[in-house]
Amino acid sequence: MTKACIVGWAHTPFGKLEEPDVESLIARVSGEALAHAGVSHDQVDGIYVGVMNNGFSKQGFEATQVALAQPELAHVPATHVENACATGSAALYTALDFIESGRGHVALVVGAEKMTAKSVAETSDILLSASYRKEEGEIAGGFAGVFGRIAQNYFQRYGDRSEELARIAAKNHRNGVSNPYAQMRRDFGFEFCNTVSDKNPYVAAPLRRTDCSLISDGAAALVVADEETAETLQRAIAFRARVHANDFLPLSRRDPIAFEGARRAWAKARESAGISMDDLDFVETHDCFTVAELIEYEAMGLAGQGEGYRVVRDGIAEKDGKLPINASGGLKSKGHPIGATGISMHVMACLQLMQEAQEMQIEGAKLGGVFNMGGAAVANYVSILERTR
């Protein structure tokens, strides 16, 4: 079967950006990604655009907006993909399926979100659409409240891990200082992250402000191609494995702190790639909230259930640790523009594998993992990436 590779990319800074809408964010990265790949417009066979929207903008039909800035692509088939916070990875995997089916040779994948034009209250309500509103729609604090409840359940079962959450926050903010794309390039330090204060209040107890990812604008893009085409281009990042596993949307239908879908995705990805976690040089994981990263350590297989704290205490996930996790600063520091996030995480991994991550670089990185999830571990995507060109 034909395999697809990543052959180029582009990435805006994340934060409160001047671009007024998703259309302008898409325009900022689409042409740049094609140029980086060394691909002409007439080589593009498909376009896949990841935008969650769901109320951030009255304008939908986002797949058509690529051609507004790249008119040469007006007649190329274009599809909009949405899968909550995993929208970017969903768009990427759809493009990979398109290439690997043999229906095309080159595809452009764009992820974007404009979040800061809405109030915090409006944004919180929009993000709740990634939960099961029939049961969870009235949780105080919006989606932060959903993860606050997850943290409460975790603490009740396994003990208070507020200190470990603060250490995860401090790690990711420290790493984010080196990321030129990051929204929050500031090292807050452990003591600040571990202390409830006027500047770091509870958002949804036990989660403090430093435990929560940011409201962000931003876009990222990838160009993917089949192996034969990739051989004619400057670079190729291949998928040793890629897995998508789902779980029940309502928290009431599952153990909300088990992240079983994530666990299954990681297990299948390791099996498909023929590796153990010891073979990976780094991981970019979905730290929408610090408690998510803590539980993801367990889902990865780095620790038993309830023992993710050991990964923190042993320094395993630090940039100079055994398995650096979120050397980019993660969503916590880099930002989380929903539709762009999954694509951004893959760009960060590609930079590492191409030895182009500059101050973020992990020396000798050859094999990396990416975990992006939609909702509270409902849609789970794991990619194992390596450079082949």
Respond yes or no on whether the N-terminal peptide bond of residue 256 is cis (omega within 30° of 0).
no
Distance CA 339, CA 224 (A): 18
CB 108 within 8 A of CB 34: yes
3-state SS class at 381: strand
**Residue at 50 is within a domain:** yes
CB 114 within 8 A of CB 22: yes
Range name among 120-129, 171-180, 259-268, 352-361 with the lowest pLDDT average: 120-129
**Residue at 204 is within a domain:** no
Model confidence over 10-63: pLDDT tens digits?
999 999 999 999 999 999 999 999 999 999 999 999 999 999 999 999 999 999
Residue 39 is given by DSSP the state -
State yes or no: is 173 an active-site residue: no
Query: What range does the domain containing 10 cover?
Result: 4-118+218-230
**Residue at 108 is within a domain:** yes
CB 104 within 8 A of CB 209: no
- pLDDT, residue 317, reads 98
pTM, whole model, 2 decimals? 0.98
Model confidence over 270-329: pLDDT tens digits?
999 999 999 999 999 999 999 999 999 999 999 999 999 999 999 999 999 999 999 999
Question: What residue ranges in 252-388 does DSSP mark as E strands?
Answer: 282-285, 367-374, 379-387
**Residue at 384 is within a domain:** no
Angle (deg, nearest 10), helices 338-353 and 87-100: 60
State yes or no: is 336 an active-site residue: yes
Distance CA 289, CA 74 (A): 39
Checking if the pLDDT of 351 tops 80, the result is: yes
**Residue at 162 is within a domain:** no
Percent of the chain with pLDDT over 70: 100
Name the token pair of 328.
């980019």
Percent of the chain with pLDDT over 90: 99
CB 336 within 8 A of CB 326: no
Model confidence over 190-241: pLDDT tens digits?
999 999 999 999 999 999 999 999 999 999 999 999 999 999 999 999 999 9
- For 51, residues 6+ apart whose C-beta sits below 8 A from its C-beta are 22, 62, 80, 82, 87, 111, 112, 113, 338, 339
User: Hunting for tokens 């036990």 — which residue is that?
Assistant: 206
3-state SS class at 21: coil
Distance CA 26, CA 67 (A): 10
**Residue at 25 is within a domain:** yes
Of 86, 90, 111, 95, whose CA–CA distance to 22 is shortest?
111
- pLDDT, residue 384, reads 98
Query: Can you spell out the DSSP letters for 218-254?
Result: EEEEEEEEEHHHHTTSS--EEEEEEEEEE--SSGGGS
CB 141 within 8 A of CB 129: no
Model confidence over 151-200: pLDDT tens digits?
999 999 999 999 999 999 999 999 999 999 999 999 999 999 999 999 99
Checking if the pLDDT of 1 tops 80, the result is: no
CB 335 within 8 A of CB 91: no
**Residue at 269 is within a domain:** no
Q: Which of 5, 85, 193, 350 is catalytic?
A: 85
CATH of the domain at 82: 3.40.47.10
- pLDDT, residue 12, reads 98
**Residue at 224 is within a domain:** yes
**What does residue 385 show for φ and ψ, rounded to 5 degrees?**
-115, 145
Q: Which residues pair with residue 61 across a beta bridge?
A: none
Number of domains in the chain: 1
Q: Which of 11, 105, 173, 336 is catalytic?
A: 336
pLDDT band at 2 (very low <50, low <70, confident <90, very high): confident
- pLDDT, residue 270, reads 98
